[in-house]
Amino acid sequence: MTARIIDGKAFAAGLRARLAARVPSFVEKTGRAPGLAVVLVGEDPASQVYVRSKHKATVEAGMQSFEHRLPAETSQQALLDLVAALNADDSVDGILVQLPLPPHIDDKAVLAAIDPAKDVDGFHVVNAGRLAVGEEALVPCTPLGSLMLLQDALGDLSGLHAVVIGRSNIVGKPMAQLLLQQSCTVTIAHSRTKDLPGIVRLADIVVAAVGRAEMVRGDWIKPGATVIDVGINRVPGAEPGKTKLVGDCAYDECAAVAGAITPVPGGVGPMTIACLLRNTLVAAHRRAGLSDPEGL
Ligand SMILES: NC(=O)C1=CN([C@@H]2O[C@H](COP(=O)(O)OP(=O)(O)OC[C@H]3O[C@@H](n4cnc5c(N)ncnc54)[C@H](OP(=O)(O)O)[C@@H]3O)[C@@H](O)[C@H]2O)C=CC1
Ligand SMILES: Nc1nc(=O)c2c([nH]1)NC[C@@H]1CN(c3ccc(C(=O)N[C@@H](CCC(=O)O)C(=O)O)cc3)C=[N+]21
Ligand SMILES: [Mg+2]
């Protein structure tokens, strides 16, 4: 079998177009465009690339983009002051503080300072708690985008066994919550899991969110399973001095066994950015007292 390639880049482009189509009616009703503030502390090159693509996608969707670039030596208090100002700014519907933050800053304190209504990353404990108990929440973008791809590929997920590899608060845990909400049987694997290959072989759906290049091998995959590869790992390329991106799954091996698989790049990554804009539009509607935009 050769897996169908799940084209996250194309799906994300479609979602961004649907979002852009909703912006004019929001502007008409409120007199302003939805606004997203992105805060970057320091000069990490990978973070700079992400922040630039978020800015471009935000503007292309007809939304307002506010970029705040602060030096690496910014104090935690100065960052908290900026978050407080963004919380108070009515033209800002979404606030994203790019992670990782420099080591002298406590991410938890910063995430806790963001108004949950503007927490478009869905990282605030209030949103994590709402997701866990099934209340209306802002849902983390990478798991949300991964779920959209799964539903597009498989339709109803109910009864399927999903194995999520990784238990971080930003990917693995919320991914497991979303799959549970869809009535999957969910197994969460992590670095202490015994016989990971044997567990993964049980899965109808595998979500790999580990951060280890090509860890998941083809012979771990049940024939026909759907593989969502969240991993983004930069490794040495074919030519010296060059690098390339690979996922957490050994793509060629897994694609030979799976029913469907996301590539890296071009899979989950573009969905993360599209879902950030989706959450910004949703947050803007809720803050303006409008009902949620439908069909997104
Ligand atoms: N495509 C996208 O948009 C995004 C991609 N990513 C990528 O997804 C990956 C995961 O990110 P994130 O969740 O933040 O990473 P973390 O490092 O926070 O979490 C990694 C998880 O993997 C587990 N793990 C580590 N080693 C093993 C192992 N050998 N076997 C089984 N489990 C293991 C860890 O277990 P334990 O808890 O026991 O330590 C942990 O739960 C990274 O490659 C990251 O770059 C992240 C965000 C967005
Ligand atoms: N507060 C916060 N929120 C985040 O959502 C967040 C973050 N911090 N810190 C870093 C991670 C990582 N992340 C990605 C977003 C897009 C791609 C993406 O578009 N990837 C492209 C490739 C891009 C490239 O070539 O480098 C793809 O997979 O096709 C990847 C990774 C968001 N993150
Ligand atoms: Mg830190």
Residue ranges of domains in the chain, CATH in brackets: 30-116 (3.40.50.10860), 141-269 (3.40.50.720)
Query: Which of 230, 249, 264 best tests ligand 1's pocket when mutated (most atoms within 8 Å of CB)?
Result: 230
pLDDT of residue 220: 98
- Catalytic member of 93, 119, 121, 204: 121
Give the number of residues written for the chain: 296
Please state, in angstroms and as integers, the Cα–Cα distance from residue 199 to each residue in 30, 154, 244, following that order: 50, 21, 29
pLDDT of residue 245: 96
pLDDT of residue 11: 98
Ligand with an atom nearest the CA of residue 101: 3
Q: Is the ipTM of this complex over 0.85?
A: yes
Q: What is the DSSP letter of 100?
A: S
Which helix (H) or strand (E) element contains residue 229? strand 226-229
pLDDT of residue 87: 98
pLDDT of residue 200: 99
- The response to whether 166 counts as a known ligand-binding position is yes
pLDDT of residue 235: 96
Tokens (6 digits) for 61: 């969707």
Residue nearest to atom 15 of ligand 2 (CA): 269
pLDDT tens string, the chain, 296 residues long: the values are: 799 999 999 999 999 999 999 999 999 999 999 999 999 999 999 999 999 999 999 999 999 999 999 999 999 999 999 999 999 999 999 999 999 999 999 999 999 999 999 999 999 999 999 999 999 999 999 999 999 999 999 999 999 999 999 999 999 999 999 999 999 999 999 999 999 999 999 999 999 999 999 999 999 999 999 999 999 999 999 999 999 999 999 999 999 999 999 999 999 999 999 999 999 999 999 999 999 999 88
Residue 11, ligand 2, Cβ within 6 A: no
pLDDT of residue 93: 98
pLDDT of residue 248: 99
- The response to whether 212 counts as a known ligand-binding position is no
Residue 293, ligand 2, Cβ within 6 A: no
β-bridge pairing 161-165 and 94-97: unpaired
Q: Which residues contact 135 (CB under 8 A, 6 or more apart)?
A: none
pLDDT of residue 292: 96
User: Is there a catalytic annotation at residue 229?
Assistant: no
pLDDT of residue 206: 99
User: Is there a catalytic annotation at residue 121?
Assistant: yes
pLDDT of residue 52: 94
Query: Which of 49, 50, 264 best tests ligand 2's pocket when mutated (most atoms within 8 Å of CB)?
Result: 50
- The response to whether 232 counts as a known ligand-binding position is yes
Residue 190, ligand 1, Cβ within 6 A: yes
Q: Which residues contact 84 (CB under 8 A, 6 or more apart)?
A: 113
Ligand with an atom nearest the CA of residue 45: 2
pLDDT of residue 7: 98
Residue nearest to atom 16 of ligand 1 (CA): 168
pLDDT of residue 61: 98
Determine the Cα–Cα distance for residues 281 and 68; give it in Å rounded to an integer.
20
